[in-house]
Amino acid sequence: MRNRTVSMDDIAKALGVSKNAVSLALRGKDGVSEDLRQKIAAKAREMGYGQEKQQASQYILALIPQRNTHLLDGMFYQQVCFHMESYARSKGYLLTICSVSEEEEKACLPHPMLGQMPFQGVATIGNLSKDYCMLYRNCGIKYLMVDQYYDDIPVDSITTANTSATYMLTKHLIEKGHKKIQYIGPRKRTSSLFDRWRGYRQAMGHGRAAHRLRLRP
């Protein structure tokens, strides 16, 4: 049983190479041959290098559909991921954010990262299919949905106040005297879009005697 943390110096001494060579190899940098890189990696695994740190940390996997990764350039998803990572770190967890391709989603297989690290939980961010979400609901790991929910998948979810916000926005337009107000959007595509449409419809319904209700599927 090891009584201290294995260092790069330990690996270097065991192989008779420099600490710099070990550092370059383990960081995937140029400057060492591929053969030496493999020997250093194998020796590091054998000696348990980095395992102490790994065992001391707890990990959460956050998954976002690849078709939505462009949204990371906008403020909303940037803020979502930033605050998730900050809060997780404050509780002693490390957040790993990965994308899910359409092929992976359709195949409905666990993300390959799950087999590489000891994750304590999974969070999906954005509109992933019901079957893919059910996969994590049933895989025996803690699961959270962010910016999405399904009424028939009993898991915790965090969403924005889409219904009330759209209701207040539409009501404000009505109070300003606007009468022809149209909702534009595929309301059945995601739970967020449906909730926005529902808020719009509620506001227009309250004023249906004086206003024309126009819906676009």
167-183 residue pLDDT tens: 999 999 999 999 888 88
User: Which residue type, as a one-letter code, is found at position 39?
Assistant: K
SS3 helix, strand, coil % of the chain, rounded to 5?
Answer: 50, 20, 30
Whether the per-residue pLDDT at 209 is higher than 60: the answer is no
pLDDT of residue 216: 47
Q: What are phi and psi of 138, to 5 degrees?
A: -105, 5
Question: What's the token pair of residue 193?
Answer: 């879009």
pLDDT tens string 117-157: 889 999 999 889 999 999 999 888 899 999 888 988 999 99
Whether the per-residue pLDDT at 4 is higher than 90: the answer is no
Q: What is the mean pLDDT of the chain?
A: 83
Task: Give the residue, 1 or 96, on which the prediction is more confident.
Answer: 96
User: Which residue type, as a one-letter code, is found at position 60?
Assistant: I
Whether the per-residue pLDDT at 213 is higher than 60: the answer is no
Average pLDDT over residues 76-102: 88
Pairwise CA distance, residues 194 & 181, whole Å: 17
What percentage of the chain exceeds 70 in pLDDT?
86
* Domains detected in the chain: 8-51 (1.10.260), 57-158 (3.40.50.2300), 162-215 (no CATH)
Give the containing element (helix H, strand E) for 58.
Answer: strand 58-65
pLDDT tens string 7-24: 888 899 999 999 888 888
Whether the per-residue pLDDT at 95 is higher than 60: the answer is yes
